[in-house]
């Protein structure tokens, strides 16, 4: 599932949480996204920015779910994960035994996939500590960066707790 599909599948509450978190932790990111997406639709950004936040967020979620906005959607999700959920990234990488920089960034460009048992342990640790939809978004974004992690993809696809939009 690529980033625009993640936005299309996630719940409105998850999208609200992402955009509110970015407003708090990454000043200007949401405004920049609105500007960029509004220009695509030949709208003035101020038209969107004057709406109540819930309407802005619904418009952003809908816009980021479009295939043409995959890159912007990916950037938004990466910024959110690294700014608001760095501890989640670190927990998962530690549990599955993947070397990282202490900030949740993987040191190797293409680390070997850990054992299925390690992956299951990592997923369970995340689900014990974080909301399931947050974990589902992270794991899907993680899978976008690495080919060959079939065991993790199978775990994510099979676990009903990792459904988006629930």
**Residues 69, 106 within the same domain:** no
Please list the alpha-helical segments (H only) found in the chain: 3-9, 12-25, 29-40, 45-49, 53-64, 70-84, 86-96, 116-129, 132-145, 150-158
122: domain range? 86-162
**Residues 154, 95 within the same domain:** yes
**Residues 59, 90 within the same domain:** no
Is position 37 within any domain?
Answer: yes
Is position 80 within any domain?
Answer: no
Per-residue tens of pLDDT for the chain, all 166 residues:
999 999 999 999 999 999 999 999 888 999 999 999 999 988 898 999 999 999 999 999 999 999 999 999 999 999 999 999 999 999 999 999 998 888 888 887 778 889 999 999 999 999 999 999 999 999 999 999 887 899 999 999 999 999 999 7
**Residues 54, 91 within the same domain:** no
pLDDT value for 112: 84
pLDDT value for 140: 97
Cα distance between residue 165 and residue 16, in whole Å: 12
Helix, strand or coil, per DSSP, at residue 107:
coil
**Residues 139, 97 within the same domain:** yes
Is position 49 within any domain?
Answer: yes
**Residues 105, 69 within the same domain:** no
**Residues 93, 140 within the same domain:** yes
User: How many structural domains are present in the chain?
Assistant: 2
Helix, strand or coil, per DSSP, at residue 99:
coil
The Cα diameter of the chain in Å comes to 51
């Amino acid at each position: 599932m690529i980033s625009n599909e993640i936005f299309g599948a996630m719940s409105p509450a998850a999208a609200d949480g992402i955009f509110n978190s970015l407003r708090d932790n990454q000043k200007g990111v949401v405004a920049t996204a609105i500007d960029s997406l509004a220009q695509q639709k030949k709208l003035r950004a101020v038209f969107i920015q004057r709406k109540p936040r819930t309407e802005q967020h619904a418009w952003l979620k809908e816009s980021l779910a479009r295939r043409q906005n995959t890159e912007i959607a990916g950037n938004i999700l990466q910024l959110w994960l690294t700014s608001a959920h760095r501890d989640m990234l670190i927990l998962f990488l530690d549990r599955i035994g993947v070397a990282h920089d202490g900030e949740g960034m993987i040191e190797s460009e293409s680390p070997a996939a850990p054992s299925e048992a390690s992956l299951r342990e990592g997923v369970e640790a995340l689900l014990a500590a974080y909301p399931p939809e947050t974990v589902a978004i992270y794991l899907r974004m993680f899978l976008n960066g690495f080919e060959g992690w079939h065991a993790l993809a199978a775990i994510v696809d099979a676990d009903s707790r990792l459904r988006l939009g629930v």
